Structure 1
Amino acid sequence: MSERSELIDQEQDGPRSAERLDALLGDPRDAANPVGHARALAADERQEMHAEGERLLDAFGLNAEFVPAALGGRLRRADTLAEVLRTVWRRDPSLGLGYGFASFIASVNIWTGGDREQQRRTAGLLLANQRIAAAFHELAHGNDFARAGFTAQAADGGWLLSGRKEIVTNLRRAEAMVLFARTDDRAGSRSHSQFLVTRDELPANRVLDLPRFPSSGMRGVQLGGIRFTDCPAPGRALIGGVGQGIEIALRSYQVTRAVLPAMSVGPFDTALRTAVEFALERRLYGGTAADIPYVRATIARAYADLLAVDAFAGVGLRTLHLDPGAMAVYAPAAKYLTSRLVLDGFEDLRSVLGAAGYLREGPYAIFQKMARDIAPAAFAHVSRAACLVMILPQLPRLARRSWLVDGAAAKEVFDLGGPLPDLPFDRLAAGLPRGDGLIGVITEAAAQPQPGPVGRFAARLEAELRDLRERCAALGPAGITIDAPPQAFALADRYTVLLAAASALAVWDQGGEQYPPEALLGVLDRLTGRLGGESVLTPAEREDVEQRLFDLAVRRCREHRLLDLTARPIAGREGNHR
Structure 2
Amino acid sequence: MDQTIEAALGTAARLDRALGDPMDERNPASFHAAVATDREGRFPQHLRDAAFSWGLAEYLTPAASGGRLRSLDHCLALFRVLARRDLTAASAIAAGFLAGLPVWQRGTPAQRRAVAALLRRHELLGLPMGEAEHGVDITADARLDALAGAGNAWSLSGRTTLAGHDGHVAGTTLLARTGAGVTAFLLLREADRGGHWRSDPAYETHGLRGSALGRLTLSGFPAGPAETVGPPGQGRETAARTLPVARLVVAGLALGGLDTCLRAVVAFTRSRRLYGAPILELEPVAVRLADVYADLLIGEAVCHGLCRTARTDPHRFPAASARVGDLVPELAGDGVESLAIVLGARAYCATEHWHGIVEKMRRDVAVVTALADSGDFPPAAPPDELPPDPFVPVPPELAWLGEPAADGAGDGDPLARARALVREEGLPGPYAPRLLELLDRLAGIASHRGASPSPGDARLDAAAACASAWLHGRHRDDFHATGAWLLLCLRRIAVRLGEPQPADAGLRRRTVDRIGLDHDGRRLFSDIEVPLR
Does the alignment reach a TM-score above 0.5? yes
Cα distance, 1:492–1:386 mapped onto 2, change above 3 Å:
farther
2:305–2:468 contact (8 Å) kept in structure 1: no
Q: Which residue of 1 aligns with 2:305?
A: 315
Cα-to-partner distance string for 1:157-195 (whole Å, 9 max, x where unaligned)? 3111111102532352122211122235xxxxx842210
SS of structure 1 residue aligned to 2:203: coil
Q: State which of 83, 86, 97 in structure 2 corresponds to 1:104.
A: 97
Q: 1:152 aligns with which of 146, 154, 158?
A: 146
1:72 deviates by 2.0
Q: Which moved more, 1:171-180 or 1:371-380?
A: 171-180
Query: Which of residues 344, 348, 351 is equivalent to 2:341?
Result: 351
- CA distance change for structure 1 residues 440 and 182 in 2, over 3 Å: closer, same or farther? farther
Matched, 1:113 2:113: no
Matched residues in 1 for 2:374 and 2:219: separation? 33
CA shift for structure 1 position 445: 4.4
Shift of 1:76: 1.1
Tell which deviates more after alignment, 84-93 or 507-516.
Answer: 507-516
User: Are residues 1:529 and 2:495 paired?
Assistant: yes
User: Aligned partners of 2:118, 2:13: CA distance in 1, in Å?
Assistant: 26
Alignment check: 8 A CA contact 1:161 1:230 kept:
yes
* Inter-CA distance 183–170: structure 2 relative to 1 (3 Å threshold): farther
CA drift at 1:287: 2.0
Letter matched to residue 454 of structure 1: L
Contact 1:139 1:167 in 2 (8 A): no
Cα offset, 1:328, TM superposition: 2.0
The amino acid that maps onto 2:285 is V
Q: Per the alignment, in what secondary structure is the counterpart of residue 211 of structure 1?
A: strand
1:440 to 390, 410, 413: 413
Provide the rounded CA distance (Å) in 1 between the counterparts of 2:110 and 2:464.
Answer: 42
* Counterpart position of 1:44: 38
Return closer, same or farther for 1:392/1:226 CA change in 2, 3 Å cut-off.
Answer: closer
Relative to 1, partners in 2 of residues 1:145 and 1:499: Cα closer, same or farther, differing over 3 Å? same
One-letter amino acid of the counterpart of residue 472, structure 2: Q
Counterpart position of 1:126 = 119
* Matched AA of 2:259: D
Please say if 1:298 is aligned against 2:288. Answer: yes
Q: 1:285, CA displacement in angstroms?
A: 2.5
Residue number in structure 1 paired with 2:391: none
1:509 aligns with 2:509: no
Q: CA deviation at 1:446?
A: 5.0
- Residue of structure 2 equivalent to 1:488: none
Cα distance, 1:15 vs structure 2 = 6.4
- How do 1:311-460 and structure 2 match up within 5 A? 311-364=301-354, 365-380=356-371, 382-383=372-373, 424-425=399-400, 440-446=413-419, 450=423, 451-460=432-441
SS of aligned partner of 1:236: coil
- Partner of 2:3 in structure 1? none
Alpha-carbon separation, structure 1, partners of 2:376 and 2:485: 31
Counterpart AA for 2:495: G
Q: How much does 1:330 deviate?
A: 1.2
CA shift for structure 1 position 520: 1.6
Which position in structure 2 is the counterpart of 1:261? 251
Secondary structure of 1:95's counterpart equals helix
Indicate conservation of the 8 Å contact 2:162/2:216, yes or no. Answer: no
Judge conservation of contact 2:161–2:202 (CA < 8 Å) in 1: no
What fraction of aligned residue pairs are identical, expressed as a percent?
29
Deviations 1:311-333 (A, max 9, x none): 11001012112212112221122
* The 10-residue stretch of structure 1 (82-91 or 145-154) with the greater mean CA deviation from structure 2: 145-154
Residue 64 in structure 1 maps to residue 75 in structure 2:
no
Displacement of 1:449: 6.1
The answer on 1:223 being equivalent to 2:204 is: no
Please name the residue that 1:214 is paired with.
204
Q: 1:438 to 1:352 in 2, by over 3 A?
A: farther
State how many pairs are aligned.
Answer: 498
Map of 2:271 onto structure 1: 281
8 Å CA contact 1:301, 1:546 repeated in 2: no
Residue 555 in 1 paired to residue 517 in 2? yes
1:103 Cα offset (Å)? 1.4
Amino acid at match of 2:186: L
CA distance in 2, matches of 1:237, 1:441: 45
Give the whole-Å Cα distance in 2 for the aligned partners of 1:50 and 1:87. Answer: 15
Pick the aligned partner of 1:54 from 40, 48, 51.
Answer: 48
RMSD value over aligned CA atoms?
Answer: 2.7
Contact kept in structure 2, 1:332 and 1:391, CA below 8 Å: no
CA distance in 2, matches of 1:253, 1:393: 13
Q: Distance in 2 between matches of 1:135 and 1:198?
A: 14
Kindly indicate whether the alpha-carbon contact (under 8 Å) linking 1:90 and 1:270 is maintained by their aligned counterparts in 2.
Answer: yes
Q: State the 1:232 CA deviation.
A: 2.1
Q: Is the 8 A contact 1:160 1:233 kept in 2?
A: yes
**Which of 185, 200, 203 lines up with 1:195 in the alignment?**
185
What whole-Å deviation, never above 9, does each CA across 1:361-394 have from its counterpart, x for those lacking one? Answer: 13241111111111111121x516559x869977
Match of 1:417 in 2: none
Q: Deviations over 1:481-526 (max 9, x none)?
A: xxxxxxxxxx421111011000101210121222623222111111
Gaps of 5+ in 1: 1-12, 185-189, 402-421, 429-435, 476-490, 572-578
One-letter amino acid of the counterpart of residue 448, structure 2: D
8 Å contact from structure 2 (residues 61, 116) kept in 1: yes
The one-character-per-residue Cα deviations of 1:21-69 (angstroms, maximum 9, x if unpaired) are: 1112111111222211111110000111113212312311322211012
Change (3 A) 1:355 1:223: same
Q: CA deviation at 1:337?
A: 0.7
Q: Distance between the aligned counterparts of 1:506 and 1:440, measured in 2?
A: 9
Which of 158, 178, 196 aligns to 1:183? It is 178
Tell me how far apart the structure 1 counterparts of residues 398 and 156 of structure 2 sit (CA, whole Å): 33
Question: Is residue 78 of structure 2 the alignment partner of residue 84 of structure 1?
Answer: yes
In structure 2, how many angstroms separate the alpha carbons of the residues matched to 1:304 and 1:23?
A: 26
Q: Which residue of structure 1 lines up, in the alignment, with residue 390 of structure 2? A: none
Deviation digits for residues 296-352 of structure 1, max 9, x if unmatched? Answer: 110000000000000110010121122121122211223211111111111111111
Aligned AA (1:315) = G
Deviation at 1:567, TM superposition (A): 2.4
Q: Are the aligned partners of 2:494 and 2:500 in contact in 1 as well (CA < 8 Å)?
A: no
Q: TM-score, normalised by structure 2?
A: 0.87
SS of alignment partner, residue 454 of structure 2: helix
| Equivalent runs, 1:129-144 vs 2, <5 Å | 129-144=122-137
Seen in structure 2, the aligned counterparts of structure 1 residues 205 and 62 have a Cα distance that, compared at 3 Å, is same
Secondary structure of residue in 2 paired with 1:463: helix
Give, in whole Å, the separation in 1 of the partners of 2:296 and 2:178: 43
Check whether the contact 1:203–1:231 (CA below 8 A) recurs between aligned residues: no
Correspondence for 1:9: none
SS at match of 1:513: coil
Give the residue type in structure 2 aligned to 1:135: P
> Which letter maps to 2:94?
F
Contact 1:268 1:342 in 2 (8 A): yes
Q: Aligned equivalents of 2:216 and 2:189: distance in 1?
A: 12
